[in-house]
Structure 1
């Protein structure tokens, strides 16, 4: 199947082709036709499957069919996302795909002043991309009205639950008009998310493109057994490989991310940390520098695991193994995206063996062990 077969308008097709896309991903091929018909969608898809375009393209087509001729623009579409990074990326997608359409969008999130965001709202817009906290704040202040909403997108619903935003999400839902199209996306479907989807969706079409908690076949996975105090040396050793132009490194804690980034800088590797305690400006600056290649290594915590979308990222390193198996899937999903290949390397010390066993049970495969390296643990099997 090609994008030409999805019944998208020529304006959108030109925008898609300008990005170099010719073949839709499975989630796009399955979701877009139903979304174009106005049906509610329950999409179960992990990150890196192209789900943003799966909802952005049909929404742009729907809204542009009756774009306001002038005057004040009411908010007609709301996309709710769990993180500032993801909100920014979704906003960029709407801008990219809708660049030739008479539609306006804005992105609002917390951690920065609200003045510029309020100005965007007051000028009027068609699509609002928002994080829950800032959205509720601006709704309480009277800057946001959802009375004219036609489409609601809840993106990464399970991440909302993980981050403690589910109560805020429910408050937003109460403000939505009863008559609307709802597009609901989640990588996993824990019981509370299942209940939320049942209350939110009307006769939905379920679109599931990968088994829950599976890893992409395009990602080559490896594990290095190493003592905890030797991880720093092993990381530096791996980065001596000039073929690794950029690497995304995951740590379990914010302090750990800061420490690893500082250690890399000290060894001559350009690096920066990104996590929830960093200011929005610092996070965006680090992401921009990583995208451009100014930074070779970005060190992140799980809070950013599903909010980082870097084209062509081919290397992910789990400096610390996550204690939640699903987080491993989300982390390594930063590479091997949209059909490209990637490599995911994990460091495993003695205390993390149980985490590795849980991960292997969840992904239903054994992660190949790299035995030939200078920091091999004496306890390695």
Structure 2
């Protein structure tokens, strides 16, 4: 085993290898329904190797917290808890009793105290419980599941040749997956935990090599991970810590069939953590299907609402007024040197029209070569490329 809470002694016994059965030859290439060659596994819990997932010991400071203090803290932080057996929140990082190598990175990042979702999420995730975390984007959800994941990994047997990841994080987009992988690298490198990012739109070779060399944390988009599972480039026999990040967005993007096929490849006694910004019925159904006796943490309101930290101005006008109002607005925006702008339009034709007018009016200057390569894209020092096929305001 990996040893004590913060100790990774390489001299210790590696422990049993999970899923030591030989791998079948990869199936031939396929087209059509992603994951159609994957079959739902029939798990026998009596035959599966046992693993640890409860590593939480309540700090003495937290033990002295009264029921009044607990309710007052949750009220101030807008934390709502649903479910039984939820541990008390921590008010400082040291109360979560993370190993020293994790605390060193937190101190280096100059973090003062946990965010609300972290305060309640840390003890819950460390205790090995399934959980749902509902909080707006930018609330610190990534650390809320990655730091407990590092502790979880350090208590499992070391990876052996042919083993897949211990922690799997499913994310809806390449950008989010890369952000999570960067955080996983920063906090995992002190204990030599390897992480990799698997997503579409990039060469498969380097991603396959990372998986074949062995990686404890895999952050993946569902489509690319399905591809690798089908051809036998990785497996989820060792996965005991599953994270569904931005679950509502993955469902909006139509990933539910792929998610279900991936989860079918993971042992049912795993620890599962689902994170979402909203709580629609589709996400609730996913939680009921994948999680067992879970606790739900909600920070703020459950209803979808605008981010009050962003100034939003709505100008209702006639169709014939749009162009002039846009040009006037762009002139105001361009008065500030560092401003960047994204303009959403309904069609590519409309995008081309705006591009030509802005160039004609001298708002943007583009080289003839670049203009020929990208006729429908406005490029300038003060703008970002506008996007087509979006709904106009």
Q: Do both share a fold (TM > 0.5)?
A: yes
Structure 2 counterpart of 1:360: none
Cα pair distance change 1:182/1:71, threshold 3 Å: same
Determine helix, strand or coil for the equivalent of 2:384. Answer: strand
1:246-291 Cα shifts (integer Å, max 9, x gaps) = 4463525584678778877862489xxxxxxx9xxxxxxxxxxxxx
Cα pair distance change 1:264/1:170, threshold 3 Å: farther
Is the aligned partner of 1:240 residue 2:334?
yes
Determine helix, strand or coil for the equivalent of 1:220. Answer: coil
**Is contact 2:248–2:278 with CA below 8 Å preserved after alignment?**
yes
Structure 2 counterpart of 1:44: 134
**Is contact 2:137–2:277 with CA below 8 Å preserved after alignment?**
yes
How far apart are the structure 1 equivalents of 2:197 and 2:356? Answer: 32
Is the aligned partner of 1:223 residue 2:317?
no
Structure 2 counterpart of 1:355: none
Structure 1 counterpart of 2:104: 14
Cα pair distance change 1:28/1:85, threshold 3 Å: same
**Is contact 2:92–2:114 with CA below 8 Å preserved after alignment?**
yes
Is the aligned partner of 1:110 residue 2:200?
yes
How far apart are the structure 1 equivalents of 2:158 and 2:353? Answer: 51
| Pairwise CA distance, 1:70 | 7.0
How far apart are the structure 1 equivalents of 2:98 and 2:357? Answer: 49
| Pairwise CA distance, 1:50 | 1.4
Give the greater-gyration-radius structure (CA).
2
Cα pair distance change 1:232/1:128, threshold 3 Å: same
| Pairwise CA distance, 1:72 | 5.9
How far apart are the structure 1 equivalents of 2:272 and 2:322? Answer: 46
Name which of structure 1's ranges 169-178 and 118-127 shifts more when overlaid on structure 2. 169-178
How far apart are the structure 2 equivalents of 1:129 and 1:183? Answer: 14
Structure 1 counterpart of 2:83: none
How far apart are the structure 1 equivalents of 2:174 and 2:347? Answer: 17
The one of 120, 131, 140 aligned to 1:30: 120
Unaligned residue ranges in structure 2 (runs of 5+)? 1-90, 367-373, 375-379
TM-score, normalised to structure 1, is 0.66
How far apart are the structure 1 equivalents of 2:183 and 2:304? Answer: 25
**Is contact 1:155–1:184 with CA below 8 Å preserved after alignment?**
yes
**Is contact 2:146–2:184 with CA below 8 Å preserved after alignment?**
yes
How far apart are the structure 1 equivalents of 2:240 and 2:260? Answer: 18
Flag the structure with higher strand content.
Answer: 1
TM-score, normalised to structure 2, is 0.64
Cα pair distance change 1:213/1:295, threshold 3 Å: farther
How far apart are the structure 2 equivalents of 1:302 and 1:29? Answer: 41
How far apart are the structure 1 equivalents of 2:199 and 2:353? Answer: 28
Is the aligned partner of 1:249 residue 2:338?
no
| Pairwise CA distance, 1:302 | 11
**Is contact 1:76–1:150 with CA below 8 Å preserved after alignment?**
yes
Mapping for residues 143-222 of structure 1, pairs under 5 Å: 143-211=233-301, 212-222=303-313
How far apart are the structure 2 equivalents of 1:254 and 1:105? Answer: 40
1:31-86 Cα shifts (integer Å, max 9, x gaps) = 11100111111111221111111111111122124462876653101101111111
| Pairwise CA distance, 1:171 | 1.0
Mapping for residues 1-381 of structure 1, pairs under 5 Å: 1-66=91-156, 68=158, 74-211=164-301, 212-225=303-316, 227-242=321-336, 245-247=338-340, 249=342, 251=344, 255=348, 267-268=363-364, 296-299=382-385, 320-321=392-393
**Is contact 2:351–2:388 with CA below 8 Å preserved after alignment?**
no
1:325-369 Cα shifts (integer Å, max 9, x gaps) = xxxxxxxxxxxxxxxxxxxxxxxxxxxxxxxxxxxxxxxxxxxxx
How far apart are the structure 1 equivalents of 2:109 and 2:357? Answer: 37
**Is contact 1:64–1:102 with CA below 8 Å preserved after alignment?**
no
Q: What is the total number of aligned residue pairs between the two structures?
A: 285
How far apart are the structure 2 equivalents of 1:152 and 1:38? Answer: 11
How far apart are the structure 2 equivalents of 1:132 and 1:124? Answer: 19
Q: What RMSD in Å do the two structures reach over aligned CA positions?
A: 3.2
Structure 2 counterpart of 1:348: none
